[in-house]
Structure 1
């Protein structure tokens, strides 16, 4: 017999869904997006944003008085769009449709108009808002930026498998080169409705669910969603979403070539005076090697490498939402990463938690109890 070992084995407390639990996919989605295209922000100081972006590993593809487009080395559209605004805020995410027909189909199904994107991006878009209030653009026909020279991975001697002889190993002391955007992570006060919205409108499928400790019967509170491209493997998650007391951007993640480039790039960021939020480590769900940074506007951004790729056949795994399940190895999650670092942000979250309990949204007293247990892990 062939070995059909479940790839989720040993990573979760449970092997898969129980009878009657969420299937992790829609039966008849409107469209199936191909990938995330970019994350979009507004910031008042584009010069400061550009300085950090270059140190983080982006290449500037366009800079005007009111717009900053950042790209990786992979061909395609920019992976970050920043426009000048009165305050720093996350605007939303853009996703790449298979073709113009899918954009038109989605527009018709939602009663929205198809619009032309600015000439700096090219192509067309249908602009939607998810149940949490985040902007969602589904685009096609955008300008195709050419591939740029990438970072050549180092040559490794793995144990007794020798490939490097009479040569030292020296990672360059320079910014890492971002290759592409990988995923966006969001928090929602209406998790279940938002989850179903992404599955039904964008055709995403769930790779992993998480539930609060001792509350599995109440359903999942986090979902890692990937694009459905049939037999073509895709990132473990393109959008991840968790239930929380506020609707907010958590982080966006950008792929780099390997551990050495990630670590050397992190050292460069430290020497430039930027703040590491958490890392270096390796996640459980998705398996990525990660390194999190806080940009000058307070947004959390991640370098990652060596993430899992799943095709459409893999069913969702189920596990416990807990701080102890965030990584296989690495330092413990920092207070900054968890959002409990003393300061205005943690006070704002505490106030939102209290007011959220009064508003009757999905984050209720049972959720609060579960979240506290998760944090205590």
Structure 2
């Protein structure tokens, strides 16, 4: 929260007052929000993927902790225990690919306003969901659907957090703790992380079109003067607290999905659910630990097609008064505690190195924001 003071008749704002981060914006840096957005979205709604083997994808999803809301020969809807829309829509496809993200508008009026301003007609959503949507594309080519009026799935019984004895606060007497090794019941979709070769244009597009605001900026080591290279972006709900980020956007050599995150009840659910996944032969990419930006407890997994997904718990919630924090983008700065960040998570493992190298060469030959100096900055991230 900024503090405003008067000095010789001039009003000054101290962006470091009440900050959640050690450093705030300097004069002339990106403000992290749009002055006049078209609408302000309420939340992230769902993600869409195409998968060649829906049965294999569903088997992993159940082990990860999803419930199935709908299944047809060509489509599976995955949900959490909370009420609302499905978290993930899987469709039959020739290859495994990320097919887009949907955000929930506050009303169908907002959907129509966005459709009018963009010149893209609104249309009815599939009968399985109902409601109205407008299908846009962000500057990096990611399909983005803005939706409203869907029918709500009823809430399911949640996985309750375990009662904890902390110091003299005793909540459990004559009882033991024996968390079962079962799937961690996913509660909801928390966020998606995307990479873009046109990072700044794409960031501004989300701020201008969807009214989202930045919680934290990261910049490549030694390149703060070039501007941010990653942003954690939340929905602007005014005085109502919102997730630290529903979307995170990073500058990189390809326009692609990076990972998505799904909330579970607590650390025990996250850890025991991880043991369940390990016992079934699934691959842990990185975890367990606690992030810095967003503060979440995290555990990252690869699905059978190589897509990165995260269990998280205990994330930060900000209202609209907080200004963005600024910090260097470093591998060591991705967590407060936990194992060192893995080569798999960073994309530097042998199985991904060739693909990453080809992406870098392609990006450097193209007209975008990813130039040689940005490549040098990105390579420093993994070593810092």
Q: TM-score range by the shorter chain?
A: over 0.9
Q: 1:76 aligns with which of 84, 98, 104?
A: 84
CA distance in 1, matches of 2:40, 2:193: 19
> Residue 121 of structure 1: CA displacement?
1.3
- Structure 1 range deviating more: 242-251 or 346-355: 346-355
SS, match of residue 116 in structure 2: helix
The answer as to 2:377 corresponding to 1:376 is no
Matched, 1:91 2:103: no
* Separation of aligned partners in 2, 1:173 and 1:221: 39
Aligned residue number for residue 6 of structure 1: 18
Residue 372 of structure 2 corresponds to residue 365 of structure 1: yes
Q: Which residue number in structure 2 is paired with residue 352 of structure 1?
A: 359
Partner of 1:142: 150
Q: Distance in 2 between matches of 1:133 and 1:85?
A: 19
Q: In 2, distance between residues paired with 1:338 and 1:122?
A: 39
Alignment of 1:239-254 (within 5 A): 239-254=247-262
Aligned to 1:56: 64
Do residues 104 (structure 1) and 77 (structure 2) align? no
List structure 1 segments (4+ residues) > 4 angstroms apart after TM superposition.
none
Deviation at 1:5, TM superposition (A): 6.3
CA gap 1:196/1:5 in 2 versus in 1, 3 angstroms: closer
Q: CA deviation at 1:8?
A: 2.1
- Structure 2 contact 19–323 (Cα < 8 Å) conserved: no
RMSD: 1.2
Q: Shift in Å at residue 7 of structure 1?
A: 4.2
1:162 Cα deviation (Å)? 1.5
Equivalent residues of 2:19, 2:325 under 8 A apart: no
User: Using the alignment, how far apart are the partners of 2:252 and 2:377 within structure 1?
Assistant: 11
**Deviation of residue 204 (structure 1)?**
0.2
Give the match's secondary structure for 1:359.
coil
Equivalent in 209, 222, 227 of residue 217 of structure 2: 209
Using the TM superposition, give the Cα deviation of residue 360 of structure 1 relative to its aligned residue in structure 2, in angstroms: 3.0
Counting matched residue pairs gives: 370
Following the alignment from structure 2 to structure 1, what is the Cα–Cα distance between the partners of residues 357 and 56?
Answer: 30
- For structure 2, the residue ranges without an aligned partner over 5 or more in a row are 4-15
Distance 1:121 1:172 in 2: 34
- TM-score scaled to structure 2, two decimals? 0.95
Which residue does the alignment assign to 1:233? 241
* TM-aligned CA deviation for residue 47 of structure 1: 0.3
Q: Distance in 2 between matches of 1:275 and 1:373?
A: 26
Aligned to 2:350: 342
Give me the whole-angstrom Cα distance separating, in 1, the residues matched to 2:306 and 2:381: 24
How many Å separate the matches in 2 of 1:225 and 1:153? 27
